[in-house]
Structure 1
Amino acid sequence: MQHYDIAIIGAGLAGSLAAMALARDGHRVALVGPKPVIADGRTTALMDQSIDYLKGLGLWDDVEPLTAPLVAIRIIDGTTRLLRAPPVNFRAAEVGLEAFGYNIPNAPFLEILEKHEASLTTLERITAPAMTFDFGDGEVRIGLEDGRTISADLVVGADGRRSAVREAAGIETFSWSYPQTAVVLNFGHELSHQEVSTEFHTESGPFTQVPLPGNRSSLVWVQRPRDAEETLKLPTDVLSRRIEDRMQSILGKVTAEGTPQSFPLSGMIARRFGKGRAALVGEAAHAFPPIGAQGLNLSLRDVMTLVELVGRPTGERLAADVGDRFDGRRRVDIVSRTASVDLLNRSLLSDFLPIQALRAVGLQFLSSAGPLRGLLMREGIHPGSAMRSLKESLREKIGRQRA
């Protein structure tokens, strides 16, 4: 029976990045899971902190040609409600950055990860699905579909919302659903996006355009389920016109590309993010609507924390409480991000006039209050930085007063 320091279950973006990071540190890693049957047509906007991590893993030179920078993010109230918010613009230059992050197509990104995985001698790729998990005092035994059994000091669940690792570890979840479906596609356009992402807030949810290289963009269009079904059936020319109209023609004539995909929206958070010899990353731990580019960025912070917690190999077995310590380290970040995305999404759906008023006033305040907007941008890029910046500012102010 082959033994590994760490077995990662789930070979999507989060699992693959975790496997690479841990293997590069010298751990013997098994990355377990079949290749996706259907290519993922979505894109992922990775923020500045996540891009720095890709650079540290030696991936950026291969990934960068696929990407488009996000130099600004614009929010437009696209509702027809009585109380509408003014447009809000967030510019990376306001916080001293060339770009907030970069938008990356998922499918070619995963292909690049697979190529780099093959070059790591301490990483073994196992395409047979994991079927059973036996958590013992000294190790975890994993039964594979092909009849083999492997063992590991630590098992990392990166196997999505229906995580088998999470279930085997006895970790419960809290789940909820939204009356929404996300339609995802790429499109070409007549005018340059100027590396600006525009998010229209509508009564059914956000309609978000994110730049791709050239005069192309990706789109996440959140709609009511019945409307999404109709959108998927539209001929390409009619769909293109609908997108252009929804975008108020700010990018000129639009041409939809390929076949749109749809994803029902729901939320989930694990009651624990680790337990004993199990740790959960990515959507095995948390899942929420595609708002504010939080999904994979939050998952990468899971990976960063796990790599830091495990440390480099010492020749000794990994401790039996890694999962418990990981849970403590990730709780505040995951819970706060999940709650903020859920609150924003529900505020868009609410027909309750006071909630609409609060949302409109909040966006008006952000539009006019430069320092607050800067704090919010820093917090989105580097979680915890806004509070640190505020504390430092207060200390400096108190110091000047005492002097």
Structure 2
Amino acid sequence: MSRDPAAEDRLYDAAVVGAGPTGLAAALALNYVGAHVVLIGPLPEARTERRDTRTAALLAGSIDMLKAIGVWTGLAPHAAPLKAIRIIDASQSLLRAPEITFEALELGLEAFGYNIPNTVLVETLYARARDALGAVIAANVKDLALGEHEARLDLDEGAPVAARLVVGADGRQSLCREAAGIAASKWRYEQSALATDFKHVFPHDGVSTELHKEAGSVTTVPLPDPCASSLIWVGPAAEITALMRYEAETFRETLQERLGGLLGRIAETGARAEFPVAGLTAATLAAHRTALVGEAAHILPPIGAQGLNLGLRDAAALADCVATALRQGDDPGGEAVLAAYRDTRRLDVITRAVGVDLLSRSLLSGLMPIQAARGLFLHGLNALPPLRRMVMRLGLTPPTELPSLMRPAAN
């Protein structure tokens, strides 16, 4: 199903493979800078009685990108501001870390970002893509041929598509990554995560809370309803599988106990989804007319809202590189563009991947020296506001310059 039946007769500047949030954002970002783009991927899943209750906590730069590509107006009514992040050590360790709260106001911000339901995010991006792009093809890529001057994409439905640049936004089992001959390191944390939402008696006041225990964590994230939050429960795989099997009332009672009255009585819980906690890093982000974005390039544990925000920075940075090539009349899929993209993204991806991995492992460690180091660090953050503000800025922005689309618009 294609918005442009003649797509096979054209040579596109870029073919974006994958219609998840990162792929959709990448296609719209490339279109924004003047590239002729075709998006290839299945239609968003139709709404069912079993709702997708996962959400995306998007930081300020990602929100500025959504504004630039023309979707924020449709998302804003469904977005909840993240005004503060609270971390609580709920373990039984003798060296428990102090509770700490990071407040956006300390940085002069109204909010660190916004929490948005995944379903709304994807549907809004997809609707914009259908209006804005040269072609949107609801199909899967079954084969790629990456030539010297162009790439040919064979689909499971319809005629082949030709493009000078392939943007692999097709997830952890990326066909684009495989076709480009890019290796990837993969690992598991022997954990799984459960995603859901729930209603509670006490208002969340825009505060996201992380409760850390010995074998995992529970994170609550505000929803637009002041008495509703989304939840990510990370724990041993067997524990999460058991939680998925609980009847609704048993799960509600178990969550109530786990949160320890944090948000008062839990009135209702939503649909639950389970997914593995894993890591992945591609050996390179670009090769052979292919640039990888999002989970095709890197997968992080669900800590600190880094995963999707990192993928959106991939998309925005790639748009900058392609924009430069188009202005100069160069090949958007040529080695100069791929090299620029690799160089631009390397430090951000490495620091986020290593940092989140170390944090994840430190939270699971039972070693006293590691627990003591974590506790001392959090004590320091509580006692030293300048250090706390520095850590907040590091969490919000990459160690390199923000891509153009992620910079606040001039007033």
Please indicate, yes or no, whether the TM-score normalized by the shorter chain is above 0.5: yes
Using the TM superposition, name which of 18-27 and 316-325 deviates more: 316-325
Cα distance, 1:301 vs structure 2: 0.7
| Aligned equivalent of 1:200 | 211
Task: Specify the alignment match of 2:134 in structure 1.
Answer: 123
Q: More deviation in 372-381 or 308-317? A: 308-317
Give the Cα–Cα distance (whole angstroms) in 2 for the partners of residues 290 and 61 of structure 1: 27
Q: Which amino acid aligns with 2:13?
A: D
Cα distance, 1:23 vs structure 2 = 1.4
Q: 2:159 aligns with which of 139, 148, 152?
A: 148
Query: Given the alignment, which residue of 353, 366, 369 partners 1:351?
Result: 366
- What per-residue deviation string (whole Å, max 9, x for no partner) do you get for residues 224-247 of structure 1? 111111111112122112212221
Rounded Cα–Cα distance in structure 2 between residues aligned with 1:289 and 1:261: 16
> Normalization by structure 1: what TM-score?
0.92
* Residue in 2 that maps onto 1:401: none
Q: Structure 1 stretch 321-330 or stretch 201-210: which is displaced more?
A: 321-330
Aligned alpha-carbon RMSD (Å): 1.6
Distance 1:237 1:286 in 2: 37
How many residues are aligned here? 385
Using the TM superposition, give the Cα deviation of residue 378 of structure 1 relative to its aligned residue in structure 2, in angstroms: 1.0
- For 1:338 and 1:35, the matched residues in 2 are separated by 30
Q: Could you tell me which residue of structure 2 aligns to residue 2 of structure 1? A: 10
Verify: 1:191 aligned to 2:199, yes or no: no
Deviation at 1:323, TM superposition (A): 2.1
- 1:167 corresponds to which of 175, 178, 181: 178
Relative to 1, partners in 2 of residues 1:3 and 1:88: Cα closer, same or farther, differing over 3 Å?
Answer: same
TM-score, length of structure 2 as denominator length: 0.91
Does the 8 A contact of 1:7 with 1:156 survive in 2?
A: yes
Q: Which residue of 2 aligns with 1:255?
A: 267
Q: Report deviation, 1:385.
A: 7.6
Cα distance, 1:147 vs. partner? 4.9
Q: Check whether the contact 2:290–2:333 (CA below 8 A) recurs between aligned residues.
A: no
- The answer to whether the 8 A contact 1:41-1:185 is kept is yes
Tell me which residue corresponds to 2:392.
377
CA shift, 1:64, in A, is: 0.7
Is the aligned partner of 1:325 residue 2:325? no
Runs of 4+ aligned residues of structure 1 deviating over 4 Å after TM superposition are: 36-40
Q: Distance in 2 between matches of 1:302 and 1:12?
A: 14
Aligned-partner residue type, residue 239 of structure 2: D
Residue 360 in structure 1 maps to residue 375 in structure 2: yes
Hey, what's the Cα distance between the residues in 1 that align with 2:268 and 2:275?
18
Query: For residues 171 and 266 of structure 1, what CA distance do their matches in structure 2 show?
Result: 19
Q: Secondary structure at the match of 2:271?
A: strand
Distance in 2, Cα, partners of 1:300 & 1:49: 9
**Are the counterparts in 2 of residues 305 and 329 from structure 1 also a CA contact under 8 Å?**
yes
> CA 1:167–1:216 in 2, change beyond 3 Å: closer, same or farther?
same
Give the corresponding residue for 1:300.
312
1:97 aligns with 2:109: yes
Give structure 1 stretches of 5+ with no counterpart.
387-403
Q: Which moved more, 1:235-244 or 1:137-146?
A: 235-244
1:281 paired with 2:293, answer yes
1:158 aligns to 2:166 (yes or no): no
SS class of match (2:22):
helix
Instruction: State yes or no: 1:71 paired with 2:83.
Output: yes
Q: Percent identity?
A: 44
Whole-Å Cα distance in 1 between the matches of residues 55 and 343 of structure 2?
Answer: 30
Corresponding position of 2:4:
none
Alignment pair present for 1:12 and 2:20: yes
* Aligned residue identity for 1:128: A
What SS class does the counterpart of residue 311 from structure 1 fall into? helix
